[in-house]
Amino acid sequence: MKKNCVIAFSSLMLSCALYAQNKRMNVVFIMADDLGLNDTGYTGSDFYETPNIDKLSEEGMVFTNAYSSAANSAPSRACFMSGMYTPRHGIFTVSPPDRGDRTKRKLIPIPNVEDLRKDIPTMGELFKRKGYRCGHVGKWHLGDDEDGTGPLSRGFDVNVAGGRAGTPYSYYYPYCNNKGMCHIGLEKGKQGEYLTDRLTDEAVAFIKESAHGEKPFFLYLAHHAVHTPITAPQSIVDKYEKKVKGKYHTNSVYAAMVETLDNSVGKICGIIDSLGISDNTIIIFNSDNGGSEPITNNYTVRGGKGMPYEGGNRVPLIVKWPNVAKAGKISDCPVNNIDFFSTFQMYLEGKIGDKLDGVDIYPLLSNEKSSIERDLFWHFPAYLESYTDNGKGFRAKPYTSVRSGKWKLIYYYENENTELFDLDKDPLEEHDLSCVNEEMVSILKKKIFSWIERVNAPVPTKLNPYYEGD
């Protein structure tokens, strides 16, 4: 991790603002769902194949310490779309907040908001305000257009498939579940058509329609892949069934899902190149949270989706920003998906809103040797049941955590216990240093409590009357 965490922002911010005045770039943001830190070739998978994502990593800047702002989908996407931490919008988890065995929950969790409130500005509205044509394709998970909380109500001109659904109704056409609920905009199709491929085709159509118009465009392609249910075209599955399994990655169906996602990235990059707009188009590839264990293995970090450990919210991130980010460069500065709103607001308007929690990462893109000094926080005042024991155990109990430099502290509300890790020496978070470094525990607890007060974060304090102990 870089130690030089001080940067002269004034000149860099000015250059960013001046750049925005001269040229408004198209922006394509590709969001994977539940893609783990090591689920791509460039991040070290020993089984999955991602040649197109790997190629993008060679053409853009790779961030090795990229985080989602929450360890599961809805809150992470709300943070990304708003540029705000979870306490600002109240989406803490995928509803409800009291998941798992109620007799094992010591506290009553904080109520959860399901939709992104209408009074909270979105990234779609930011781009729309600056004259962009805005398209949403895929998973929204923050509301529905029928009640004014879907993409069409939040700045997007086009919405394909975006509604409340967190899990796809079906990965195959017709894209409906057994209750008759269907993804909007996908009513027509071919029997057996695969959702990842179809969303890619819709995104390609949007790019073609927008490429040479009077307006620049912003495309948010939010795939359902590689979220459950784990299913993929059999021809691709067969390929991985014949392949020698890796030491850590072994699931052939999941590997096939990853490949369909990779094919999507290849098609998106390919159409941008073929239309001659690659020099004027920013392409970003990211995941909404860490990989779902045990479906995949986040073997270089601890835990997975939903957990307070690095495997819950460490994610792949590639930013290809022509004439700004040097191809193939790497930044190990910690960044968060809340930073994108701040970055693009600075790029488009030369300022960052007072209520935004992210920072402008343009200086990191324009100078890979630079870094940013700040603390990162995660707030989860809820319960999330375990994958493996029918809800009797928990992936997460109420906590707030902070990363400050190399140090990470997790503070648990049930018993006021802490876990302290030195991420430089212990990336797998195997050695809790709370008892041997009480001074650092005290420092980081003060940072957490100060942040809680600053963002008005609700914390659970009421005892659960059904609690029977662990």
Q: Is pLDDT of 11 > 90?
A: no
**What pLDDT score does 388 carry?**
84
Q: CA geometry: angle at 227 spanning 256 and 423, to 5°?
A: 100
- Alpha-carbon span 461 to 108, nearest angstrom: 7
pLDDT digits (tens, 9 = 90+) for 306-354: 999 999 999 999 999 999 999 999 999 999 999 999 999 999 999 999 8
Q: In the predicted model, is pLDDT for residue 3 greater than 90?
A: no
Q: What is the pLDDT of residues 70-124, one digit of tens each?
A: 999 999 999 999 999 999 999 999 989 999 999 999 999 999 999 999 999 999 9
Mean pLDDT of 203-226: 97
pLDDT band (50, 70, 90) for residue 10 = very low
pLDDT for res 444: 98
Of the chain, the percentage scoring pLDDT greater than 70 comes to: 95
Tens-place pLDDT, residues 222-278: 999 999 999 999 999 999 999 999 999 999 999 999 999 999 999 999 999 999 999
Pairing assessment for the beta strands 217-222 and 26-32 based on DSSP bridges: parallel
Contact 437, 427 (CB under 8 A): no
Backbone phi and psi for residue 152, each to the nearest 5 degrees, phi listed first:
-65, -20
CA atoms within 13 A on the CB side of 47: 25
What's the pLDDT score for residue 392?
81
Q: Is the dihedral of CA 451, 454, 457, 461 positive or negative?
A: positive
* Model pLDDT for residues 46-82, shown as the tens digit of each residue: 999 999 999 999 999 999 999 999 999 999 999 999 9
User: Taking residues 399-410, what's their average pLDDT?
Assistant: 98
pLDDT value, residue 169: 97
Class of domain 9-374: alpha beta
* Fold entry, domain 379-455: Arylsulfatase, C-terminal domain (3.30.1120)
Domain boundaries, the chain: 9-374, 379-455
Give 390's pLDDT tier (boundaries 50, 70, 90). confident
Does the pTM surpass 0.75? The reply is yes
3-state secondary structure 347-375: HHHCCCCCCCCCCCCHHHHHCCCCCCCCC
Cα 372 from Cα 336, distance rounded (Å): 12
Instruction: Provide the mean pLDDT of the chain.
Output: 94
Higher-scoring residue by pLDDT: 146, 391: 146
The contacts of residue 234 (CB under 8 Å, 6+ apart) are none
Let me know: does 233 contact 246? Beta carbons within 8 Å: no
pLDDT at 391: 75
Please report which confidence band the pLDDT of residue 4 belongs to, taking 50, 70 and 90 as the band edges: very low
**pLDDT at residue 379 is higher than 50:** yes
Separation of alpha carbons 415 and 412, rounded Å: 6
Q: Which of 203, 222, 221 is nearest to 211 (CA)?
A: 203
Sequence-separated (6 or more) residues with CB below 8 Å from residue 210: 26, 133, 135, 217, 219
In this predicted model, which residue has the larger pLDDT, 61 or 389?
A: 61
pLDDT of 16 reads 46
Q: What pLDDT was estimated at residue 29? A: 98
**What is the per-residue pLDDT across 123-176, written as a single tens digit (0 to 9) for each?**
999 999 999 999 999 999 999 999 999 999 999 999 999 999 999 999 999 999
Q: Does 408 have pLDDT greater than 90?
A: yes
Centre a 10 Å sphere on the Cβ of residue 166 and count the other Cβ atoms it contains.
18
What confidence category does residue 21 fall into, taking pLDDT thresholds of 50, 70 and 90? very low
What number is the average pLDDT over the span 414-428? 98
Does 18 score more than 70 pLDDT? no
Q: What is the largest CA-CA distance in the chain?
A: 64
Listed in sequence order, the residues at least 6 apart from 304 whose beta carbon sits closer than 8 Å to its beta carbon are 36, 290, 291, 292, 293, 294, 296, 298, 311, 312
